């Protein structure tokens, strides 16, 4: 005959394993959800429709949909992490200021900047994903692209990001 303590212990074990299973399932779901990316065809469809979805698009989708950009720039950059989880490059904020909606968190690494004056977009990628987009005039984008070209003339080989 089973005692009350035996039945309680069995129920406690099943409850703990239930929580452990739930935690494992949640961790897998988060990991799979974070790593999921639409196919390149889906991504380029979004780009063609001017739906620039953060964290869901990669630079090859832009090359496929819009062709090569007029200006391209890679730079080690600090990014402000915003409340909506978008990232704002430090270079797009006035010196000594922080953007509105900043959650007091930073990321840092190589940012890929693509300027499309004919489309009116500056798009920035960090760790392979679109993290920032800004609509600018063609004049503003050409000025930005020329400033990148000027800066590149004075970069040492140690400042140039390694190409994979």
* Between 97 and 6, the higher pLDDT residue: 97
**Domain extents for the chain?**
1-36, 40-153
**Predicted confidence (pLDDT) per residue in 35-78, tens digit:** 578 999 999 999 999 999 999 999 999 999 999 999 999 999 88
CA quadruple 90, 96, 100, 101: dihedral sign: positive
Report the distance separating Cα 136 and Cα 142, nearest Å: 10
CA-nearest of 138, 136, 99, 133 to 113 is 133
pLDDT-derived band at 32 (thresholds 50, 70, 90) equals very low
Is the predicted pLDDT of residue 86 greater than 90, yes or no?
no
Q: What global pTM score does this model have?
A: 0.70
Report the distance separating Cα 149 and Cα 8, nearest Å: 72
**Predicted confidence (pLDDT) per residue in 90-115, tens digit:** 888 888 787 777 877 888 999 999 99
How many Cβ atoms from other residues are within 10 Å of residue 43's Cβ? 23
Q: Which residues fall within 8 angstroms of residue 16, CB to CB, at 6 or more apart?
A: none
């Amino acid at each position: 005959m089973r005692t009350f303590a035996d039945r309680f212990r069995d129920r406690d074990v099943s409850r703990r394993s239930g929580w452990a299973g739930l935690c494992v399932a949640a961790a897998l779901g988060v990991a799979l959800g974070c790593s999921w990316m639409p196919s390149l065809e889906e991504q380029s469809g979004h780009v063609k429709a001017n739906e620039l979805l953060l964290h869901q698009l990669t630079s090859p989708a832009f090359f496929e949909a819009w062709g090569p950009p007029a200006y391209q720039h890679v730079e080690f950059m600090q990014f402000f992490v915003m409340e909506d989880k978008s990232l704002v490059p430090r270079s797009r904020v006035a010196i000594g200021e922080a953007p509105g909606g900043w959650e007091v968190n930073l990321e840092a690494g190589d940012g890929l900047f693509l300027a499309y004056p004919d489309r009116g977009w500056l798009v920035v990628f960090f760790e392979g994903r679109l993290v920032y987009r800004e609509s600018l005039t063609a004049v503003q984008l050409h000025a930005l692209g020329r400033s990148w070209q000027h800066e590149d003339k004075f970069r040492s080989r140690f400042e140039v990001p390694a190409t994979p």
